[in-house]
Amino acid sequence: MAVLLKCIRFLRLSPTHLPYKLLSTCSPPCTDRNGLVLGVYSDECKEELILTPTAEKYNKSVDGQLLNSLTLIEKIKEGKSYVFWCLDKQYQAVAVVGLGKKCQGYDKLEMLEKDKEAVRVAASAGCKSLQEIGIRTICLEDLGDAEAAGEGGTLGLWKFQECKTKQECPPAVNLYSGSDCNIELFRTGVIKANAQNFARQLTDMPSNLMTPTIFTQRVEEAFAGLDVCIQVHDEEWAKKKHMNAFLAVTQGSCEPAKFIELDYNKGNSDDGPYTLVGKGVTFDTGGISLKPASKMDEMRGDMGGAASCVAALKALACLNTQANIKVLIPLTENMPSGKAIKPGDVVRAMNGKSICINNTDAEGRLILADALAYSCYFKPKWVMDVATLTGAMRVALGSAASGVFTNSDRLYQCLEKAGAVTGDRVWRMPLWNHYKKQICENTGYDLCNIGNAPGGGSCTAAAFLQEFMPPKVDWLHVDIAGVSGPESNIPYLGKGMTGRPTRTIIEFIDSQTRTFC
């Protein structure tokens, strides 16, 4: 192999003649091999390569062979991985990944910390290229941001395979010992990514294997050994609390509903909790207002809000975050049956308001209504609900960002900054009286669960939820219908449900323990 590489360097063949494929596959896969991921900055305008400090040290240790090998590549593309064999005895394969321009900083138009996102993409590409050739132990350098590298590598190697008979074990990924960065940052990135992977796992499970009862069991398993108090309430408890909107949705299913209450208390005991409310519809047929058959299987992920809230709390507990956090998860199926709610039925929610259910497929807002009303009993510092709530949000923003409705400019700015840091963006939507009127102006009842005019479906849904929050409580509604999957164009997230916006929730809460947002 070394002789072949020398011949190639001598001939100066371009990648179009002999490129990446030869470099990647010229030696057969072997399960006991170790691999290394290093980074290189490139500026297409200047056509120059700059090795990261760690890659520069490695290059010197192999007498410049790394840089010489890179001359085989006509252009190092950002987010692409190029694998070289046998540069040293310890690492049989070395993946060099393109990081793009150095010091790109915050892009105001894209609302992204571009350096962090470039590291995630590069780390994922490097690790996956080594995985594909059979490398079982990967050492990943920090690529200029150890936390982002830990996130990218961990997210990129994960894939859903719970239902496969033969499951692939992903390679072990460690921080390269030659890096001078703080290993705790890498560990933090891995914890955050593992949390998102946990959310991906929950949402991609088929609904017969992820009922409200099974979801509850998975949550109890996930928090075993962590300093989190778990209460699981049943339907009788919900009846005593007069959660009739929540119970109306579940009455059409044979599966018993659950209401999970999680408490993590590491902050000032006098402070109200940061409160997360996650929509937990483990399968949504639409009820009597039945959905079309096409892609109905994707409704296994209609508990994406619940999954991301639970996963975020798990990461925050693992990171020993100094905060008081409460998570509320109403869990149910939405099924058609002889007992199911019917269009036009009227129920009275926990806060006493009557609701006409004109569309049983607008069920998420019903279960959230009672959960939001319940959250106010704990005098929260703020409340954030997260839900795959409306198809209209997917139409409005696609998979680019979560839509956010809020009565707090301060909290939105904090959440927007968190999304820029994590690469999982948010975009503010309006909470105007224009939409409230469509929900509230009725002669025979207080509220309707859908608007009375065409368009603005996400906005009328948010207006409905606002009726269950006192005006003085800071509140954010995050509609994740567009970002939850299964379609995704993010390089470090493979096929299937995405687990978004788990890391943004983590960053949003964690940042408030560091500075006041």
Classify domain 2-161+169-176 at the CATH topology level: Leucine Aminopeptidase, subunit E; domain 1 (3.40.220)
Residue 79 and residue 125 in contact, taking contact as beta carbons nearer than 8 Å: yes
- Rounded to 10 deg, the angle between the 114-132 and 146-157 helix axes is 40
pLDDT at 178: 61
Residue 79 and residue 122 in contact, taking contact as beta carbons nearer than 8 Å: yes
| 200 annotated active-site | no
Q: Which of 313, 109, 29 is nearest to 191 (CA)?
A: 313
Asked whether the predicted pLDDT for residue 20 surpasses 70, the reply is no
pTM: 0.93
Lowest mean pLDDT across 61-70, 254-263, 273-282, 310-319: 61-70
| 326 annotated active-site | no
Q: Choose, from 200, 365, 381, 425, the residue flagged as catalytic.
A: 365
> Is domain 194-514 classified as CATH 3.30.720.210?
no
pLDDT in tens, 198-227: 999 999 999 999 999 999 999 999 999 999
CATH 3.40.630.10 placement within the chain: 194-514
The burial of 469, by beta-carbon neighbours within 10 Å (0-12 exposed, 13-18 middle, 19 or more buried), is given as: buried
The burial of 358, by beta-carbon neighbours within 10 Å (0-12 exposed, 13-18 middle, 19 or more buried), is given as: middle
pLDDT at 22: 34
pLDDT in tens, 452-478: 999 999 999 999 999 999 999 999 999
Q: Choose, from 114, 136, 291, 437, the residue flagged as catalytic.
A: 291
